[in-house]
Amino acid sequence: PAFVLLQTGWASGIIAASIASIKAADKTLGHVNCHLSAQGETLETQYAQWWQSVLMLLHQGAAGYVMSSPVQRRIRESHFVAIVTPALKHLRKEIARLTAQLA
């Protein structure tokens, strides 16, 4: 249990810092970031809900380190999503621009 709690602490810190970075980026990139479906406030709410479930010690343990584990697959998929997200917001910005031109 102590090892799992250590990992959730790291994850929590990374998530909280990431949300803070997202909110700070909106000061200069808000015109592009507004096209993302998840905004800083939404992520903060989801984070708070997730944190409550962590406090109940829901975890997968060592399965997250086994390459054939579905848990490990979700971790790899989440890394992929993080890589392509900037492209998605720019695509949504262009879709919004084209939609406005057609209106």
Alpha-carbon span 84 to 92, nearest angstrom: 13
Which residue's structure tokens are 């998530």? 15
> Measuring CA to CA, which residue among 98, 77, 85 is closest to residue 25?
85
Please answer whether residues 89 and 32 qualify as being in contact, where contact means their C-beta atoms are separated by less than 8 angstroms. Answer: yes
- Distance, in Å, from the CA atom of 34 to the CA atom of 57, rounded to the nearest integer, reads 34
For residue 77, the 8-state DSSP code is H
What digits encode the pLDDT tens for the residues 36-90?
888 999 999 999 998 887 766 755 666 666 778 787 787 777 777 767 666 778 8
What is the DSSP-derived secondary structure letter of residue 38? S
pTM score > 0.75 for this model?
Answer: no
Q: In this prediction, what percent of the chain has a pLDDT beyond 90?
A: 28
